[in-house]
Amino acid sequence: MKAITANRLEDGRVVYRKAEGGWTQHFEDAARYSDDALDSALEAALAEEGVVVGPYAIDVEGAALSGAKLRRESIRLFGPTAGSTREAAKQGADHVQI
């Protein structure tokens, strides 16, 4: 199965495509697409370039990320594994309220 991810235009944060359209920061609320349904969903996502940047499909298996890009996508989903801003990022403690 696939999900669709992108970065939000306004702030660059990682978002996922929802089944009813629109975007969420919560992966658990992301729509899952079969290969057959993916093309039209991706087309709809690409049409929303006023909201997001660069939508693309990622591999999912059940409720989890999977596939060759698992590490990259995990870091996008859960935040950096290192770096001084990691803790702040984990707590969602943006100094700017989004």
Partner 1 sequence: MYRYDEIDDTLVRERVEEFRGQVAARIKGDLTEDQFKPLRLMNGVYLQLHAYMLRVAIPYGVLSSDQLRMLAHVARTYDRGYGHFTTRQNIQYNWPRLVDIPEILDQLASVEMHAIQTSGNCIRNTTTDPFAGAAADEVSDPRPWCELIRQWSTLHPEFTYLPRKFKIAVTGAKADRAAIGVHDIGLRLVAGENGDIGFEVHAGGGQGRTPRVAVKLRDFVGQRDLLAYLTAILRVYNLAGRRDNMYKARIKILVESMGADAFTEAVEDEFARLKNGPLTIPVEEIERVAAHFLPPAADPRPVAKSADPAFLRWKAHNVKPHKVDGLRSVVVSLKPTGKTPGDASAGQMDALADLADRYGLSEIRVTKEQNLVLPHVAAADLADLHAVLAGLELATPNAGLASDIVSCPGLDYCNLANARSIPLAQAISKRLAETGLDEPAGELTIKISGCINACGHHHVANIGLLGVDKKGEEVYQLTVGGVADGQSAVGKILGPGFTADSAVEAVLTVVRVFTERRTGAETFIETLGRIGADPFKEAVYAD
Q: Point out which residues bind partner 1 (CB under 8 A).
A: 7, 9-14, 49-50, 53-54, 67-72, 75-76, 79-86, 88-89, 93-96, 98
Least distance between partner 1 and beta carbon 2 (Å): 17
45/40 Cα distance (integer angstroms): 9
Nearer to partner 1, 33 or 73 (CB): 73
- φ and ψ of 29, to 5 deg: -95, 5
Nearer to partner 1, 21 or 69 (CB): 69
Nearer to partner 1, 40 or 85 (CB): 85
Nearer to partner 1, 6 or 41 (CB): 6
Least distance between partner 1 and beta carbon 69 (Å): 7
Strand pairing class (64-65; 52-61): antiparallel
Q: Counting beta carbons within 10 angstroms of the beta carbon of residue 7, is it exposed (0 to 12), middle (13 to 18) or buried (19 or more)?
A: middle
